[in-house]
Structure 1
């Protein structure tokens, strides 16, 4: 990943929290050509030592290439958006603010028991926020047995972790405030979150 020094994030806690808060990842591996799938990937462990896990359908083109020790790349995306040069007090170059974490990993295929435990955690993570949650244990066993053979789970052991946070570091306060205000004026969730991230990065709000 291309990263200028001022945009680097090396804090393990930041990386761990970022992945936890942005679990919908791009899963990239080398097959007959480069293949990518967008899947939920969860993290467990500690900021200093963690592993990730996910699964794909066996109908997915990536499936036939899955094996223990395979190299893969997981890309986790944060809020992002276009920043117009017209937002600065002096003319400047338009840009794009964003944050992302790349994790190069080695894959290890899960057993069926590990897959089921992973699915319980995955469903539990997102279902608990629902008004009338239906957890893994609530699903009919026949339905589970019909679907399990159609998916394959895997562990992802980190090999290299890179994080970038490009949020107008190095710009003066007036320009940073102007960028935040213009993003908020768009009144869409992505721009609003990006504005909050900029304020947090510059210590001007949360």
Structure 2
């Protein structure tokens, strides 16, 4: 994706942490020559060789998977917080803009066998059930229920490139105090953008 140099985040550890916390992404390839996108959890992991991968699954009813072997190169998009930035918050006249965090991950997809799919499902459920009041476990489910795994196609994506855009008013440093103040009077996502602006502007 196009990222002006001052918005490019090359802090690999920070971007990986973002992917772990914002793992519900968009898987994109082509189906019958047209762009196709599916919204799914895409979990950052490592394979047995220590290579970074994304792991997920989709329904067999979704025709997207039928193109996986013919077109293994895919794009995954992860969106973070975003907010409109009014230029009325600036000291000098300027057009308004939008601050946001977005990460694009490119990679090569490989279909998993049923055993590997089940292993990934166990990890997925365990991750998101850990803070539940009454956590469930696939270990406690009947074989009849677990047979639903036959209705999905699991896959891993070997990561070839990560591009991260953190557009956080980097070019408006003199206006940060006002921007942060105004954003903190808004909704949850605008407050999160305010937090990131303050964080990236703080000397390390």
TM-score in terms of structure 1 length? 0.92
Is the Cα contact below 8 Å between 2:51 and 2:158 reproduced in 1? Answer: no
Task: List per-residue Cα deviations over 1:123-169 (Å, max 9, x = no partner).
Answer: 11111111110022122221011x11111100000122111110011
Residue equivalent to 1:90: 92
**CA distance in structure 2 between the partners assigned to 1:166 and 1:74 by the alignment:** 19
SS in 2 for 1:171: helix
Correspondences of 1:1-206 after superposition (within 5 Å):
1-32=1-32, 33-45=34-46, 49-67=51-69, 70-145=72-147, 147-173=148-174, 175-186=175-186, 188-203=187-202
Whether the aligned pair in 1 keeps the contact of 2:57 and 2:153 (CA below 8 Å) is yes
Kept after mapping to 2: 8 A contact 1:68/1:109 = no
Distance in 2, Cα, partners of 1:7 & 1:120: 37
Please give the alpha-carbon distance, in whole angstroms, between the structure 1 residues aligned to 2:36 and 2:99: 26
Gaps of 5+ in 1: none
Q: How large is the RMSD of aligned CA atoms in angstroms?
A: 1.7
Query: Residues 23 and 39 from structure 1, CA distance in 2 versus in 1: closer, same or farther, beyond 3 angstroms?
Result: same
Aligned equivalents of 2:7, 2:30: Cα separation in 1:
28
Question: For the residues of structure 1 that align with 2:138 and 2:198, how far apart are their CA atoms?
Answer: 39
Cα distance in 2 between the residues matched to 1:160 and 1:4: 17
Deviations 1:162-205 (A, max 9, x none): 111100112224x112111111111x22111111111111118x
Whether the 8 Å contact between 2:107 and 2:159 is mirrored in structure 1 is: yes
Distance 1:125 1:177 in 2: 37
Distance 2:173 2:54 in 1: 38
Taking structure 2 as the reference length, the TM-score comes to 0.92
